[in-house]
Structure 1
Amino acid sequence: MTSIFDLPTELLFDIFSGDNLTCADLGRCQQVCKTFRDIIQHCKIDYTFKVDVTAHSAWRLIRCLLINPQIGERFKSIKVTWHRRRPMKPKTWAAIWSWTKEEREQIEHLGSEWLTGDTIRAIWTGLNSEALLPFLLCFTPNLESLDLGEAFEGLIYPTFTAREGIRVIEASCGDGYKWSPKGNYDDGWAYYDAISAGTTPRREDVHPLWFHMNLNPKQWLPGLANITYFAHDYKDHQDPNGFYLGWPAQYLAKILLLPRLQTARVRHCATIEFRQHIPLFDTVNSLLTARRRSTVKRLELVDSCFRQEDYDALAKLTGSLERVEWSWVSETSRYYTSLASISEERVAKAFLRRNKRTLTPEQVFLVKGEPGSESEGENKEGEESDLGSDDDSYYYISDSSSDREDDDDDDIY
């Protein structure tokens, strides 16, 4: 009877390169025999990084890499999908991850050279697996492609009330529903902020990801040093009030300086949020002082919320472009009413002037599409098709004692 050991090397290579085997599976296969070990060591890995998926695949991967870091050298591409916790949907509430003392020490030791201290602490917290992505990039020096997908920077998606947020976080931590209002004016947000503190980057004028917080052109993460393809979208590009949201363009300026980047596909990037404009000139000029220029040959800036001067600033970073595709959030958009018109001719001239040797007018395209044409369904890549039943509404009913106090006040007046 033929066994797996009788199969030709080429077929074994195809088997071990398949998507059905996890890194943990490959690690165990390597221990079977010298033949398996030699074959697996040459297999490239195309990995799907699932943020906050309930199966904890990202956390388990890092645990595996802490034991066998050589596996990271075989990562060829990473595609990120987003599975944030949903209000009222317990099936999506990923439980908190616990590290051993030895693992925490390893994470601090390995991460301290590359990551911010806040990122390491967020990893320790065990609630936001997105914090693991920059740490994973410390293990993947041969990575060629990184697609961040439709990113979402919060722990819970979509918009939620304080009671819902508290219920989700406490349930994820294995706690009962402890919170109750301390007074008539306690809406719960202070308590939610306290129990979720440190899990996402500190917000100032922008809403960054942990990936953004660890972009350092002076010392790139090992997994970014050989990237040739990069893609980045943003999931929630319009808030309930109609204001435009997007991932912060100041980080795009840094991304364009990745040392071997050839293609950058950018969607829903912004210098404007809630009608506040954060221009790119200061960021770009600070990067140019180090005499850096982008190696990007193909640049796509789709449905981004920039002003004219922001395109001018980005163009200053380039010098090797062979194709530019762009579109902007127009004055007629439901997202944002522009205070300054965008000139198609001026945008094209900005990039042509900086890429005289490689770019022609025929290679600069204005992409035109209908606002809101993207799918709004639940079954986009990265989302569970079955979100399960709703949580018990008992946990979200207003505090009865507070209601009684309000009624008493009404009687007094």
Structure 2
Amino acid sequence: MDDLSLRVYLENGSDAMRGGWLELPVVPERLDAFMRGVVGVDDGGGYAVVDHEPGWFGDVLGSDLESFSVSSLNLAARCVAHARDLAVADSVDGDVFLDMLATAAESEDVRFPSGIAALAARAGDVAEFWTEYSLPDSWRAGNSSPDGLYGAHVAYGLMGDDAYSSLSYCMDLERLGRDEASNAGVTPGASGFVSDHEPLAPSGPVPDGALDALEAFASGWRPPSAEYRPFDIADIVCEGETVADYTLEGDGTNWGAPVYQCVVDDGFDAGSDVFGVDVLSALEDTLRRIRSARAGMGDFDEVAREVMGVEQFRPEMYDDDYGSVALDLGYVLPSPMASFEPRPAAASAPDGADPTLLADDSAASSRLV
């Protein structure tokens, strides 16, 4: 995991079995798909951030990190990632940039994700109050505190190389660093310090009117591996094929969408047994196609759950009474099918129409677009 990544565990507020780990930042479309497909809610509520892995954001936001919405955390992660990318492109060391931003947040007592996002968007202004430590190569900081590092910087500046090399071992550098006469109002970090200044970001939540500007700034960030593409089942339908809509019995019908889809041949007839060999084969083939289509996107699990209603196998599903149906790739349908209805074949579609769109409104609304 990248040092800047924020990995959080999101849990459905009414069903602790629904949830999963998500590594931020992600583009908004992927966040929406994860919340619907894996957590079973939208970002409006009904979920909780119940855990996170240590990292830069945890250090900056502190123990309150899990009290914030995932959308606000993702906005902050996108803004900081974009600001760091811009700094690196301008020949600034990425770790030094993050230290500068964290030190500025401490200096201004910024502890809200939107405030961190605002600081990142104004990184150029933050840099005006930032000074990297000047220390001789011979001095080994080791586990020195930021106070000690600042003290060493002050001492080295006052004494020069020769005197510092002779005397630094016997000086109380931490005390020197926090001496009010020489401190002159600074907040020390791991690689430099921020001088006192007028706040550049609010210590509380950013006003709603400013969020649009932050979202515009965050939109400059893109995943490093591949540009995110929203999933559309039409992209995996080949000539001579169409889409079948199906529902699941019980609560499974409401997981992510009221109607799920898979790809079948034109004229496919499931007959009376909707769990016949042909249906299972179509489900497994669709699952493999989705995996191929989402290569590099990092969201196969949530897309498969959103589109097909499947989930990863769990040991308790060995129970014959559980009602799950095993598929390929370690996935299962959580309950039996209640209905299975292929859409009209491509040959019967009006000229210029997409055969995958010839379905009722409820089916169309369940697609990821």
- Which TM-score tier does this pair reach, normalised by the shorter chain? under 0.3
Q: Which structure exhibits the higher relative contact order, with contacts defined as CA atoms closer than 8 Å and separated by 6 or more residues?
A: 2
TM-score by length of structure 1 reads: 0.20
Structure number with greater Rg is: 2
If each structure's helix is expressed as a fraction of its own residues, which one has the higher value?
A: 2
